């Protein structure tokens, strides 16, 4: 199934939605796989994932702490898992695993469907209640 950005993916938290859309756009580039077998281009994708981790996770974690979200520790554990996977991909890049592009695409799909579409939705009410 090919996913296209849709408003049904929005959490109605503007900054988070913008960041998720950026992740989706990066995932879309990986899905297209145009010339992504080159080490330099794969390296750039991994760098962008690292940048995403730095700004999105920091922002989201600060927000969840601010609103005293009950599932904060579990959510952080998912973020640590993502960071670990990106580090593993970075290591695989050194050996130019020929399936790395497919592995990145598969991971991004799973992350989008399980974390962004499920785990992130779990904190929406806590955020909205805080800002009432």
For the chain, give every domain's residue range: 13-29+37-130
Higher pLDDT, 114 or 96: 114
Separation of CA 96 from chain center: 23
pLDDT score at 48: 94
The CATH fold assigned to 13-29+37-130 is 1.20.120
Say what percent of the chain tops pLDDT 70. 95
Q: Flag whether pLDDT at 1 surpasses 70.
A: no
Q: Flag whether pLDDT at 112 surpasses 90.
A: yes
Q: Flag whether pLDDT at 34 surpasses 90.
A: no
List pLDDT tens digits, range 70-97. Answer: 999 999 999 999 999 999 999 998 887 7
pLDDT score at 37: 66
Q: Flag whether pLDDT at 36 surpasses 70.
A: no
Average of per-residue pLDDT across 5-18: 95
Average of per-residue pLDDT across 57-80: 97
Q: Flag whether pLDDT at 61 surpasses 90.
A: yes
């Amino acid at each position: 199934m090919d996913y296209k950005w849709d408003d049904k993916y929005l959490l109605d938290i503007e900054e988070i939605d913008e960041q998720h859309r950026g992740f989706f756009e990066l995932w879309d580039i990986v899905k297209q796989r145009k010339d992504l077998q080159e080490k330099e281009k794969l390296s750039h994708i991994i760098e962008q994932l690292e940048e995403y981790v730095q700004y999105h996770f920091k922002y989201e974690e600060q927000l969840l702490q601010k609103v005293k979200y009950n599932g904060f520790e579990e959510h952080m554990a998912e973020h640590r898992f993502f960071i670990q996977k990106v580090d593993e991909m970075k290591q695989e890049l050194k050996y130019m695993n020929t399936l790395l592009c497919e592995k990145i695409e598969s991971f991004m799909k799973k992350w989008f469907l399980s974390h962004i579409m499920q785990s992130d939705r779990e904190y929406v009410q806590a955020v909205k209640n805080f800002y009432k």
